Structure 1
Amino acid sequence: MKQTRILLFAGGRLGDWAIRHIRADDWLVGVDRGALFLVRHDFAPRLAIGDFDSVTAEEMAEIERRSLHVSSCDPVMKDLTDTEMALTWALQQQPAEIVLLGVLGSRFDHTLANVHLLRKALRENVPCRIVDERNEIRLVDSHCTIERDHFTHVSLLPLTADVTGITLRGFLYPLENATLCIGDTLGISNVLTEESGTIDVATGLLLVMKSKD
């Protein structure tokens, strides 16, 4: 299972760009309305999960017909968001990587909660990132390498109160053993000057966000 990648499609912003991330051997999970997105693009989710309060009865029947397995719950009597339930299941499969799509949207509370879910994957040592058409977000607590691609900027924001020992190589604005605290904007809108750059962290949790306008 360690070679398998799991893609979670939630009910936030999705489009044709999301379909282009799918590889032939990926496991696809539809989260609430994200399951409808998959089946309507001729993909059969390995799992459709959620309370499905954002789909009609007819749409739910469509999801049930096309999904390999459906796990539904009460929309009120539950403690976890649909996305956290899906991520918990995905982590139990011990995959090589988890990619979250459709988890950024108009509800900022859900968007922020989904960014915080990256901590859950980090604790399990499973690489995990959030991707949409203009952003890629990951959480770092030690070291990561950033490759040059279609994203134009790389921004750093602390998720813990302080992140210490931040060292950047291959960036226009380098840092050497720096500290970022909650509220600091020093890490916003950096740019790669090499084909790849490295980010090292001594303590704390650092959000690394690639973006483009």
Structure 2
Amino acid sequence: MTRIMIITGGTLGDWALDEIREDDILVGSDRGALYLIQHGFQPHISMGDFDSVTSEELSLIRASSQAFIDCDPIYKDLTDTEMAFNWALEQRPSQILLVGALGTRFDHSLANVHLLRKGMAQGVPCAIMDANNLIMVIDQSTHVRRGPYTHISLLPLSLEVKGITLHGFQYPLHQATLEIGMSLGISNILLESEGLIELSSGLLLVIQSKD
């Protein structure tokens, strides 16, 4: 199974279009579906309550998508992004990439970051990307590549993360514990093209970023 790319209604730009691969399954979540269509891409499926588009735009989304699922904007329990994410998990892809998942609504942004934990629990590698950040959650030792990112930050997603040891970083840690509220893991730098993060327990947010 190939990668599923979910385009949702947060901050988007040309960087998002550049990330699309030819074999990606494209999921348009609410206004993210319109963004895809306006830039010449046909969503494999579009879903959401579509309360952020006009009736004309909704007709365009419905006509331009291979599959279409809508729901009542009031009587629903999930955000549009979580609906799309749950659908993506059911397909058992090799990876899920969320774009447009960060924006001006911090509540939605934080909820979307929490979705990464759900993906990890089901054994599906997941990440969130925007113009300046690549975000993932890990619960075991993981190699990270520098790519275009200048900084890498580590923040606990569980109350604490134990046994953190860093290899190939400017600021090393050895068997360290990070607790919620600690900034010790902020703004580290990879010395080589690849580094290793070891941990023994807990959930760790890994945020690669550039200014």
- Fold-level match, TM-score > 0.5? yes
Contact between 1:34 and 1:102, CA under 8 Å: does it hold in 2? Answer: yes
Give 1:94's aligned residue: 92
C-alpha separation in 2, matches of 1:37 and 1:136? 21
C-alpha separation in 2, matches of 1:120 and 1:74? 24
C-alpha separation in 2, matches of 1:93 and 1:113? 21
Contact between 1:140 and 1:201, CA under 8 Å: does it hold in 2? Answer: no
Q: Aligned to 1:193, which of 185, 191, 194?
A: 191
C-alpha separation in 2, matches of 1:71 and 1:120? 22
Deviation at 1:38, TM superposition (A): 0.3
Give 2:7's aligned residue: 9
C-alpha separation in 1, matches of 2:206 and 2:73? 33
Deviation at 1:71, TM superposition (A): 0.5
Q: Deviations over 1:5-58 (max 9, x none)?
A: 000000000011000111110000000000000001111101101000000000
Deviation at 1:113, TM superposition (A): 0.4
Aligned-pair identity in percent equals 57
Give 1:37's aligned residue: 35
C-alpha separation in 2, matches of 1:35 and 1:89? 15
Which secondary structure state, in structure 2, belongs to the residue aligned with residue 45 of structure 1?
A: coil
Give 2:157's aligned residue: 159
C-alpha separation in 1, matches of 2:142 and 2:39? 34
Contact between 1:8 and 1:29, CA under 8 Å: does it hold in 2? Answer: yes
Matched, 1:114 2:112: yes
Amino acid at match of 2:136: R
Contact between 1:147 and 1:196, CA under 8 Å: does it hold in 2? Answer: yes
Deviation at 1:137, TM superposition (A): 0.2
C-alpha separation in 2, matches of 1:53 and 1:205? 34
Deviation at 1:200, TM superposition (A): 1.2
C-alpha separation in 2, matches of 1:112 and 1:80? 14
Which secondary structure state, in structure 2, belongs to the residue aligned with residue 117 of structure 1?
A: helix
Structure 1 residues without counterparts, runs of 5 or longer: none
C-alpha separation in 1, matches of 2:136 and 2:165? 17
Q: What aligned pairs does 1:1-213 form with structure 2 within 5 A after superposition?
A: 1=1, 4-213=2-211
Deviation at 1:195, TM superposition (A): 1.5
C-alpha separation in 1, matches of 2:193 and 2:120? 26
Q: Deviations over 1:165-190 (max 9, x none)?
A: 11110000011111000000000000
Amino acid at match of 2:15: W
Number of paired residues?
211
Structure 2 residues without counterparts, runs of 5 or longer: none
C-alpha separation in 1, matches of 2:83 and 2:76? 10
Q: Deviations over 1:134-185 (max 9, x none)?
A: 0000001002111121110000000110100111100000111110000000
Deviation at 1:60, TM superposition (A): 0.3
Which secondary structure state, in structure 2, belongs to the residue aligned with residue 180 of structure 1?
A: strand
Amino acid at match of 1:197: G
Instruction: Quote the RMSD (CA, aligned, Å).
Output: 0.6
C-alpha separation in 1, matches of 2:146 and 2:105? 30
